[in-house]
Amino acid sequence: MLRPGSILFIIMCFLALNAQAGLPTAIGGTPLPSLAPMLEQTTPAVVNIAARGTVVVRENPLLSDPFFRRFFNVPDRPRKRHTQSLGSGVIVDAAEGYILTNNHVIQHAQEISVTLRDGRRFAAKLVGTDPDTDVAVIRIAAENLSALPLANSDGLRVGDFVVAIGNPFGLGQTVTSGIVSALGRSGLGIGGFEDFIQTDASINVGNSGGALVNLRGELVGINSAIFARGGGSIGIGFAIPSNMARDIMTQLVTFGEVRRGLLGASAQDLTPALAEAFGIAETEGAVVVEVADGSPANKAGLKPGDIVTRVNRRPIRSASDVRNAIALLRVGQTVQLEILRNTKMLNLQAMITENRQQMVSGDNFHPRLSGAAFADIVEGSPLYGKLEGVVVLDVEANAPAARSGLRKGDIVTAVNRTRIRSMKEFQHLARKGGDALVLNVRRGRGSVFILIR
């Protein structure tokens, strides 16, 4: 027998359903606002991506020693681990089948599967990837594709309405809406080159690589990351601007990789204190702190103390803006620099040259570093101007350096407790280090000591 309260609840639900069914689509002949018409045109261009692959499981060098394993009865463990990831992608060229996505969606993938909005599924081919910007391009051979036009992301303003489209938690295509919360976000530790659009449109696991579009249905960003302590969306999401994604894609399609050029100058943020010391009213920009001899910057007339305010007419707010702008330029391209020097505005022009990173084998420094290759941190690297030391470009499997625990991507910052800033200092200290070397290594966001002997 139903209670009076239950009967009342059922009646209210019934009335609510009838009211919903009768909601008008227009008032006084004027259609009610809806995103549906725009989404009907854009959602077919957003795809679901499934990536499968394997990665080598790294372990302590002691665990690779057969004697150690037998003595301590260490059980055998698999040396490789299978990986799989779900994400999203955006078709940006229907004729060629090019799809933009995130590097972390397809990283280590040996098989990439793309599912379209209409249910069709295709095997995708990797065109190229750029971990420093977290951009990747894949390609499918398919007909009757829909593509999204790319907007000029430099025209975005805080407060603009945006819509995020992706595949959160593997549920299937999902649409959320919000606004642009901030622009030019950097220093988040997400990627090497950061210039993120921040939005409160819900972005969750699986949305990575999906589309952030404006109300015209144009692509303004590639959804990339969220800030969330619990793993879910709390209204702070980040997208790679479409202009950055477009420039990276052009190089990946043309060369299969990103070939970053060289300007030959380093800069730091213009702080209010520095602006006061320089006697200027500017509060945004980047102060040039060093110019390499014979570099394009040097030939263009750039000097330490100059304040860069624009690069190719794009406003510069910080040193990161300069680094990002130069990193997206190709070798041979001309760059226009607007600078402030002694309260006077000047226009300089420089031609970007090839960034040659000289790789040196470790056995030139110390016998125990055999099998490893090192290089200076050069301009174009996301670490340039942020960290001093030398970078490990490669480590051969089972080489002495690898058995000691050195890994590709490590940054050696000190040798036997003495800080180093260059390959020259590394070579000097390693050669006189004796039978054993203690390397202070920066790895990811942490640091470790590695004993080479």
According to the model, what pLDDT value does residue 72 have? 52
Residue found by looking up tokens 């080489």 in the block? 399
Residue 213 is which amino acid?
V
Give me the tens of pLDDT residue by residue for the chain, a chain 453 residues long. 445 454 444 444 444 444 444 455 666 666 777 888 899 999 999 999 998 876 555 555 545 555 445 555 556 555 565 667 788 999 999 999 999 999 989 888 889 999 999 899 999 999 999 888 899 999 999 999 999 999 999 899 999 999 999 887 767 788 999 999 999 887 666 666 788 999 998 887 778 899 999 999 999 999 988 776 655 667 788 999 999 999 899 989 998 888 777 788 888 888 888 888 888 877 788 899 888 888 888 899 999 999 999 998 888 888 888 888 887 787 788 899 999 988 889 999 998 887 666 677 887 788 888 888 888 776 666 676 677 888 888 888 778 888 888 888 888 999 888 898 888 888 888 888 777 788 888 887 778 888 887
Please give the CATH number for the structural domain made up of 360-452: 2.30.42.10
- The residues that bridge with 82 in the sheet, in sequence order, are 54
Residue found by looking up tokens 């971990």 in the block? 131
Residues 6+ away with beta carbon under 8 Å from 359 = 373, 374, 375, 393, 394
Catalytic residues: 104, 134, 208
DSSP 8-state code for residue 47? E
Residue 186 is which amino acid?
S
Pairwise CA distance, residues 208 & 200, whole Å: 15
According to the model, what pLDDT value does residue 30 have? 67
Residue found by looking up tokens 């060093």 in the block? 290
According to the model, what pLDDT value does residue 324 have? 81
> Looking at the chain, which residues constitute the CATH 2.40.10.10 domain(s)?
41-139, 153-255
According to the model, what pLDDT value does residue 25 have? 61
According to the model, what pLDDT value does residue 416 have? 87
CATH for 261-354 (3.40.640.10, 3.90.10.10, 2.30.42.10, 3.20.20.70): 2.30.42.10
CB atoms within 10 A of CB 133: 26
For domain 153-255, the CATH superfamily is Trypsin-like serine proteases (2.40.10.10)
Q: What DSSP string describes 369-384?
A: GTTEEEEE--BTBTTT
* Phi, psi of 419, rounded to the nearest 5 degrees: -65, 145
Domain 41-139 indexed as CATH 2.40.10.10: yes
> Looking at the chain, which residues constitute the CATH 2.30.42.10 domain(s)?
261-354, 360-452
